[in-house]
Chain A
Amino acid sequence: MHPAPRALRRAVAAASIALLATAVGCAPQPEDDASAKASAPTGNACAKGKLATKTSGKLTVATDEPAYEPWFKDDKPANGKGFESAVAYAVAKQLGYDKSAVVWQSVPFNKAFAPGEKTFDFDINQVSISAERKKAVDFSSGYYDVRQAVIALKGTKAAKAKSIADLKGLKLGAQVGTTSLNYIQDVVKPTQEAAAYAKNDQAKSALENKQVDAIVVDLPTAFYITAAEVTDGTIVGQFENQGGTPEQFGLVLDKGSALTSCVTEAVDALRKDGTLAKLEQQWLSDAVDAPVLK
C-alpha cells in the first residue's frame, strides 16, 4: 500500500464535501407547494375556466396508450367517443373548459397514479379508488361503479364454471396493478399461481393461446373483448363487490392538488343531473346479464 499523494487526498476530501452539499441541495420541494398553487385564483376557487391548471386556460387530461374500447373509440381520446372520453369532456365542461381547451396526454397506466409530480391536471384510465392508493394520489369522487368479470374460451372447462369454487383449480390471468388481479388473489385464491401481465392485450393473447384458462377484467371491457376481439370467448360471470362497498373508478389527481375539490364537485354534479347515467347507457353495454359468481 502506498499512501495516496497529498493532492489526491485533498481532492477526495473536497469531492466528499461537494457530494454532501449536492445531497442537501437536491432536496424535494416542500410539502406546502400545493396550497401555494391553490391560493392563486382569488375568490371562488372553482371559478369557471380559471382553475390553477398546468397550462393556464387549458385542461390537461391524461390516459394510457393504446386507449381501449369501450372507454375510448379508435384509440383517439380527443374524439369525445367512448365512455371515458365523454366523461372527461363532460367534467371539463362542468369546470368551464370547452372542447378546444382540453389537451390530451398519453401516460401509461402504472405511471399515471405513481406518486410524484404530475404532468397532467387529471387522469382518466379506469383507475379504481382505494384507501391504500389515496395515500399516494388524490381521487375525485367515483364516476363509474365497476364490477370485475371472468372471460374464458367457449367450450372449455373454465367456461362452464358456476361459482368461485369452480375457478379455484384453473390458471387465471390479469393485468398487473389492477384490482382484477386482486380479485384473483384475494377472492378466488386459485391453487395455481395467477399470471400477471403488463398490459390487458397480453392477457388477451395468453387466453387465445391457451396459456391461461381464464382472465379477469372489468365488466365493460369483458363485454367488448368477447364481442369484438376474442370472439370465441365468453363471459363466465361477474364477481360480487369485495366487502360490500361498490368498487368505483375515479379521476386521478396529484396528491394535494388544488383541483381535487373542484373536479369532485363537477363529477358529483354530473351524477346528480343524470349525465353519467346517460353516458353509461350510450357507451357501455348493459351489464345485467352476466351471472354473479358466488
Chain B
Amino acid sequence: MTLTKDEAGQEGAGDSYTPSQRRIEREALKRARSRRATAIAAVSTLLTAVVLYLVVVNAPGWPRTKETFFNGQYAREAFPKVLEGLWLNVRLLFVCGAAVLVLGMLIAIARTLRGPVFFPLRVLAAAYTDFFRGLPLIINLMIVVLGVPALRLQGVTVDPVWLGGTALTLTYSAYVAEVFRAGIESVHPSQRAAARSLGLSNRQALRYVVLPQAVRRQVPPLLNDLVSLQKDTGLVSIGGAIDAVRAADIIVGRSLNYTPYIVAGLVFVALTIPMTRLTDWVTARMDRRRAQGGVA
C-alpha cells in the first residue's frame, strides 16, 4: 500500500475514505484480468468437452458400447430395484459401522494396556488383529454366511444378513483397531506423564487425556475405512440376500445387458462422494485448528 494524501488523516474530514485514482485503476485491472482468466478457462473446458464427445461418439464400436452399457430401458428398469437393494447396504453400513467402532476401540485399548497382568489380553488382541486383517474378507464371509448355518447351532440365527454383518464386523474391527492403536501410540508420552502427575489414574489418563487426542487424530483414516466398509456391504449377497449389486446382477443375468451394473456402480459412487467430501472437510478443519495453535 502506498499512502496517499487522502489517508493522511485530515481534521474535519471525518473518516470518509475515497480510494485514490491509482487504487481504482489497479482494482479495475485486477477485475479485468480475472474476467479474462475465467473466459479462457470456460472456452478451454468447452473445447475439451466437445473434443472428448466427438472422439467417444465417433469411435468404432460406440453404438455397441452404448447398447450394452448405457441402455435407457434397462437403466429405468434397474434403478428402482437397485435402490431397493441399496437400502440393505445402507442399513448394514450403519449397524456394522457402529459395531466396528466400539469393537475396534475395545481391541485397541486391550492392545495398549500396560502391566504384566494384561499380557494374555494383549496377545489375544494382537492375534485377533493379525488374523482378521490377513484373512481375505470373501473367505471370512463364506465361512460365516455359508458355513456357520451348517453347524445347526441352537439359538444362532441363519439369516444371511445378520451373518454377513457379523463377518464384516469381524474383519473391519481388526482394521479399525489398528487405526485406533496407531492413534493412541501417536499421543506423546509426556501427555500421559503429565496426566499421571496431576493425580489422574491410568484409566482416567486414558479416558480424559489420551483417547480424545488419539481419536481426533485418526478421523481421516477412520472415514476411509468407513467408505471401504460401505462398498464391501455388497458382499453379503453371497448368502442370497439381495443388495444393490445382486439386484443389478439378476437383471444382467436375464438380459445379458450390462447397464444395471453401471447404474449400481454410479449409485455407490453417489453415496461415497458426500462421505469423501466430509472426510476432506474434517481434515481441513483440523489442520486449520492445529495451525492456529488452538486447543488440540
Contact = CB atoms under 8 A, between A and B. Distances in A.
Interface in B134-174: 146, 149-150, 152, 158-160
B214 to A, nearest CB: 35
B242 A193 contact: yes
A209 B252 CA distance: 28
B255 A30 contact: no
Interface stretch (B2-10, B54-62, B116-124, B177-185): B54-62
B64 A24 contact: no
B240 A195 contact: yes
B206 to A, nearest CB: 43
Contact of A176 (B55, B149, B150, B249): B249
Contacts of A28: 60-61, 64
Nearest to A137: B256
A115 B257 CA distance: 8
B256 A136 contact: yes
Given A132-B255, A208-B150, 16 more contacts: A20-B55, A23-B55, A23-B56, A24-B59, A27-B61, A28-B60, A28-B61, A28-B64, A110-B253, A113-B256, A133-B256, A136-B256, A137-B256, A181-B253, A181-B254, A211-B160
A18 interface: no
Contacts of B160: 195, 206, 211
B127 interface: no
14 contacts: A110-B253, A115-B256, A132-B254, A133-B254, A176-B246, A177-B249, A181-B253, A195-B160, A195-B240, A196-B237, A206-B240, A208-B150, A210-B149, A211-B158
A24 B52 CA distance: 11
Interface of A: 20, 23-24, 27-28, 30-31, 110, 113-115, 130, 132-133, 135-137, 173, 176-178, 181-182, 185, 193-198, 202-203, 205-206, 208-212
B55 A24 contact: yes
Residue in B238, B241, B256, B257 with the greatest tally of chain A CB atoms within 10 Å: B256
Contact of A205 (B56, B59, B150, B152): B150
Given A30-B60, A194-B242, A209 B249 contact: no
Contacts of A206: 149, 160, 239-240
Interface in B212-270: 237-242, 246, 249-250, 252-258
Contacts of B59: 23-24, 27
A151 to B, nearest CB: 15
Contacts of B55: 20, 23-24
B256 A135 contact: yes
Contacts of A177: 249-250, 252-254
A181 B250 contact: yes
B257 A136 contact: yes
Interface size class of B (residues with CB under 8 A): 20 to 34
A24 B158 CA distance: 52
Contacts of B258: 115
9 tightest A-B CB contacts, nearest first: A177-B253, A195-B240, A209-B149, A136-B256, A28-B61, A27-B60, A211-B158, A132-B255, A197-B240
A203 B146 CA distance: 10
A49 to B, nearest CB: 31
A196 B254 contact: no
Nearest to A110: B253
A133 B158 CA distance: 35
Residue in B55, B238, B239, B250 with the greatest tally of chain A CB atoms within 10 Å: B250
Contacts of A110: 253
Contacts of B239: 195, 202, 206, 211
